[in-house]
Amino acid sequence: MKILFLNAYFYPENTAFGHLEQDIINGLVHAGHEVCVVCPIPSRGISAEEAKKYRDNKHEDFTHIHVHRYWAPAEGSNPVVKAFRYLWCNFRGNQIARKYTDVDAVFAVSTPPTQGLFAGKVAGQLRARMVYSVQDLFPDSLVTSGLVRKHSLTFKLGEWISKKTFKRCTSIIALNDTVKKNLISEGVEEKKITVIGNWVDPETVRPIPRKMNLLFDDYHIDRDQFIVVYAGNFGASQGAKIILKAAEQLKDEHSIHFAVFGGGAEFEEARRMVRNHQLSNVSIFPLVPEYRVAEAYSMGDIALITCKKGVSKTAMPSKTWNIMACNTPIIASFDTDSELAQIFEESGAGICVEPESVEALASAIEDAYHERKSIKRQNKPSNSRKYVIEHASKDNSVKKYIECIENRVTE
């Protein structure tokens, strides 16, 4: 079986779904399938020198994997430039994809939001099945992020794109039951939908003792402080600047220190915020490479997750599993009636506090600090990692993806 992946981002770019997609590709190859990837030359989060290597070598062949890269403008924070990049990637990517033959399935992810529409068109032209992984619901995610208003022209255009995309799909993989319910309410046939959550490899993401964690040395962070860690994008849906506002409220608590590893459209603004407000209790750096994620989350006495109010109806923060695999307690500025809150209740992994409330987040951090002062750091909750192994392990989840793709192709 030959599966064609149409991507707006691909390795070595660091994206929320990128490492999961690598697992799917490796799983497909291990199962005896051939994978072709059409994607832009990388530009996100890599050096100009590294990007040049890919510009000079647009074709890469591995065992049963072929990657075809093409030029695209670098992604910036300007929404017009970003929209142009999306459309260019759709146009150029699909121009290349149509030249492939004997394709059994086309695979695409819901980021960027136009990706599914054009992937569906390519699938039709190649007479292939279309498998679509829905990581967030567009255009509802734009509303919860505060980027557009419901019933606006942009929203209506987004609705049209989504309906066209879902109609062209043979199979839709929903991130969780909430996303599935929303898809059905939008008129998507239930038989098209399979729920497969994101995952983590517990063999590679595991707790690292503080004294052995080299990130403290590499970034000159005091091991004796109470560390609040955040690793993730600063963008419209994350609302992560609330972390810096909470840090400002807690800057008189000299033993509480924030270690922030960020990226995304609003990251440079976040760095300026740290400088301008003289937040000496915040160390802020670019995202760490994927292989150091365990070190980043193991640094924390607690780890933070942030999202705007209402985001739980359209998405689920995949970093949750990485943090839980490290047995680091979580404070989430996230909808308190969400599936995430339910997971915390079942696993004891953390708590959700009112989203977009600086006071609620700062208070929860302060409470955790005072509780941890009398508890040895090694006594992190063991149920978190156990829950991940039982519910979100790599092997089980990747197997479900492969079975879903295989079943849809052979129907």
- CA-CA distance, 335 to 355, in Å (whole number)? 6
- What letters, b where the CB count within 10 A reaches 16 and e where it falls short, cover 80-109? eeeeebbebbbeebbebbeebeebbbbbbb
pTM of the model: 0.83
Instruction: Say if CB 392 and CB 360 are below 8 A apart.
Output: no
Q: What residues are paired with 262 via a beta bridge?
A: 232, 286
Q: Return the closest-CA partner of residue 365 out of 204, 225, 209.
A: 225
- CA-CA distance, 67 to 22, in Å (whole number)? 12
Q: How large is the C-alpha radius of gyration of the chain? A: 21
Helix axes 394-410, 18-30, angle to 10 degrees: 60
pLDDT band at 183 (very low <50, low <70, confident <90, very high): very high
* Residue 407: how many other CB atoms lie within 10 Å: 11
Q: pLDDT tens across 101-120, in order? A: 999 999 999 988 889 999 99
Measure the CA angle with vertex 328, ends 327 and 329; round to 5°: 115
Average pLDDT of span 154-180? 92
Instruction: Kindly write down the DSSP assignment for every residue of 64-82, as one continuous string.
Output: TEEEEEE--PPP-S-HHHH
Ranked by mean pLDDT, which of 14-18, 54-58, 267-271 comes out on top?
267-271
More confidently predicted of 104 and 408: 104
Beta strands in 209-294 (DSSP E): 226-233, 256-263, 282-286
Return the structure tokens found at 171. Answer: 């199979």
Instruction: Say if CB 388 and CB 200 are below 8 A apart.
Output: yes
Average pLDDT of span 63-74? 92
Q: How far apart are the first and last CA of the chain?
A: 13
Sign (positive or negative) of CA dihedral 311, 312, 316, 320? positive
Specify the pairing of strand 330-333 against strand 256-263. unpaired
pLDDT band at 142 (very low <50, low <70, confident <90, very high): confident
Distances (CA, A) of 165 to 109, 131, 168, 174, 292: 11, 11, 5, 14, 36
Instruction: Say if CB 296 and CB 229 are below 8 A apart.
Output: yes
Ranked by mean pLDDT, which of 59-63, 176-180, 240-244 comes out on top?
240-244
Instruction: Say if CB 35 and CB 65 are below 8 A apart.
Output: yes
Sole residue written with tokens 């690598």: 22
The alpha carbon of residue 397 and the mean position of all alpha carbons in its chain are separated, in whole angstroms, by 16
Among the residue ranges 46-55, 344-353, 369-378, the one predicted with the least confidence is 369-378
- CA-CA distance, 257 to 252, in Å (whole number)? 11
Confidence (pLDDT) at 376 = 45
Average pLDDT of span 94-102? 93
Q: pLDDT tens across 378-397, in order? A: 444 558 999 999 999 899 99
Confidence (pLDDT) at 377 = 44
Eight-class DSSP state of 287: P
Confidence (pLDDT) at 112 = 85
Return the structure tokens found at 318. Answer: 């995949």
Q: pLDDT tens across 300-341, in order? A: 999 999 999 988 887 889 899 999 999 999 999 999 999 999
Confidence (pLDDT) at 401 = 96
Confidence (pLDDT) at 143 = 76
Secondary structure of 288-334 in the HEC alphabet?
CCHHHHHHHHHCCCEEEEECCCCHHHCECCCHHHHHHHCCCCEEEEC
pLDDT band at 148 (very low <50, low <70, confident <90, very high): confident
Distances (CA, A) of 388 to 43, 177, 267, 321: 32, 17, 29, 6
Confidence (pLDDT) at 13 = 86
Confidence (pLDDT) at 322 = 95
pLDDT band at 136 (very low <50, low <70, confident <90, very high): confident
Give the chain's domains with CATH numbers: 2-199+393-410 (3.40.50.2000), 210-391 (3.40.50.2000)
